[in-house]
Amino acid sequence: MEDDGSTNGGESLPLQTRPNEEQENVDGVGLGSLHDTEPDHKLTAPPALTDAEVVQLQIRVIALENLVIALLANASEAARGQARELADYILPRPGFTQHRSTLHAANQMNHLVERANHLCQVTPKIA
């Protein structure tokens, strides 16, 4: 009997639990068939960013950081606590590789929460 992918270790899986051949990412963009062995095109590195593009990205990051700080400043203490917990969550567990970028990201998240806390103390909340 030919294996059609509907069995798992000799047991038949119900239709709703069979693995999908087509996968989608969180944005709903198809990622292609799991059985593709040859891509339609070769993956190439994206072109290097120009200085102007890097500056624009820096400006956007600064703007987003300040928006996050403003939102956190008006959020509840529980919401700021969740942000701190998320920062702790992305830190590598003991015994796993410590990636510098991940460590910096977690530290930056905590720093944003602290800046929001400072803003809460300086600026009275508007009802």
Tokens encoding 49: 């960013």
Q: What is the mean pLDDT of the chain?
A: 77
Residues forming beta bridges with residue 24, ordered by sequence position: 30
How far apart are alpha carbons 84 and 107 in whole angstroms? 10
Q: What is the pLDDT of residue 92?
A: 82
Amino acid at 80: R
Q: What is the pLDDT of residue 37?
A: 54
- The confidence band for 83, taking pLDDT boundaries of 50, 70 and 90, is very high
Residues forming beta bridges with residue 33, ordered by sequence position: 22
Average pLDDT over residues 18-41: 49
Per-residue pLDDT tens over the stretch 101-124: 999 999 999 999 999 999 988 766
